[in-house]
Structure 1
């Protein structure tokens, strides 16, 4: 008997009076697998999660495959090939709720830097036979191609926020995820403001909370891992970064990292690249 058949048989023999557990699928597109590993790193919570949902498709964790439809799909990674476009539409069609996890899935990821580059040139330099490759000129978030029910930010996602999203799904409520800036987390932890006290460039004022102000806690500026917060004033931050001595090229680079394809960061970097910080 196959693994999939074993799962199906076990569910069928559980009894007609036992509610079926919702089926969970975890999908990967262009990414580093870090957000999937965050699921596996939920050590204390993983057994409870496994008891509450039927992990039907998760190649990072198991070879067993149970056919859809799936009540919940978690999607990691960005769309970078024509095949990706077709596959995400297939996944959307068989998913009741679709949640994108991580910077790649929500903003195109670090690979979105290709959006400002000559992809043909990259291919010709890296591959001996680039004619065999089928790729897109851009790396785009999942929401650019299908409807997404919820986006979970981070590079990688925060374990606590991931568990909150799963708990919210199981209880039929909206996840309680902050949309304010990393600056609030710094204040809650009693951190000294690194731009004010040390003149250290920091994206905290325009970045969504979720990391616990990890970098500022250790005296470093925020790198924007969780993408733009809900009212990001990038014009003001750009002026501050320039006052701290950053060149236009450096300012463009700090906006074009993990969340380069996020609309607010993309617009800010384009504006600076055109001379907007001078």
Structure 2
């Protein structure tokens, strides 16, 4: 039986999700026995025009080149899987969607006129049909392996939509929001990380994007009630997944213009 052909494409991103694949260890060796990797530059295989069964796409649509390339990826692939916060939500780059990115560019680059960036950073699904989204910053190796196995055997992958809080409860961890008055985003964030940050006493940062039916209004009001400044609450919602509508609306509700913050 012929192996399924696979490509891993990178758009605007940090390559963190590709690193998860490369760091799979023995599981990567088992994966190679099941699939034929046709394109994966970080693994030393370079054929971006290869026709494949499954294309994994890391990164957001942030440049004109990204726009053109993602269309080619869709044409060359039977299934397209968006991996990571950048591909699923626009990622950290989507801060430009709610901020003055021109001001940032002017502060960093001697001549911003040479930059070829789009006004917004968009998830892959806004431009093409995406068959599956694997959230995370970076993605979970466990979810990746489960998704690949399901696709290879023609089974629809089942991914969690519950909240990080439920992972915390099952693990018997103390709630950092309650015990530390820490601005934890677990009540509105999709599960899948194993509640990694709260397990070390740190707040959730929305790495896995919004959970199913997130109540951002209630969480925002709770954080403000804890004494966290409204503008800081707004920033928590858009720190990683600024391109998703529930978090954008929450940011718009609690943000305070800089001029209003000045004494």
The bucket for the TM-score relative to the shorter chain is over 0.9
How do 1:27-176 residues align onto structure 2 when only pairs under 5 Å count?
Answer: 27-65=9-47, 67-176=49-158
1:97 Cα deviation from its structure 2 partner: 0.3
Worse-matched range after superposition: 129-138 or 96-105: 129-138
Q: Among 195, 199, 203, which residue is 1:217 paired with?
A: 199
- SS of the equivalent of 2:94 reads helix
Change (3 A) 1:201 1:130: closer
Q: Which residue of the partner structure matches residue 268 of structure 1? A: 250
Change (3 A) 1:220 1:67: closer
Equivalent residues of 1:255, 1:268 under 8 A apart = yes
1:64 Cα deviation from its structure 2 partner: 4.6
- SS of the equivalent of 2:30 reads helix
Structure 2 unmatched runs, 5+: 258-263
Worse-matched range after superposition: 137-146 or 113-122: 113-122
Equivalent residues of 1:56, 1:67 under 8 A apart = no
1:66 Cα deviation from its structure 2 partner: 7.8
1:274 Cα deviation from its structure 2 partner: 6.5
Q: Which residue of the partner structure matches residue 197 of structure 1? A: 179
Q: TM-score, normalised by structure 1?
A: 0.88
Q: Which residue of the partner structure matches residue 259 of structure 1? A: 241
Structure 1 unmatched runs, 5+: 1-18
1:98 Cα deviation from its structure 2 partner: 0.2
Q: Which residue of the partner structure matches residue 9 of structure 1? A: none
The C-alpha deviation readout for 1:220-262, integer Å capped at 9, x for no partner, is: 2211111110121111101111111111111011011111112
**Structure number having the greater strand percentage:** 2
Q: TM-score, normalised by structure 2?
A: 0.93
Change (3 A) 1:235 1:32: same
Separation in 2, partners of 1:64, 1:132: 28
How do 1:5-16 residues align onto structure 2 when only pairs under 5 Å count?
Answer: none
The C-alpha deviation readout for 1:180-209, integer Å capped at 9, x for no partner, is: 000110011001112222222211111111
Aligned residue pairs: how many? Answer: 257
1:132 Cα deviation from its structure 2 partner: 2.5
CA RMSD, Structure 1 to Structure 2 (Å): 1.5
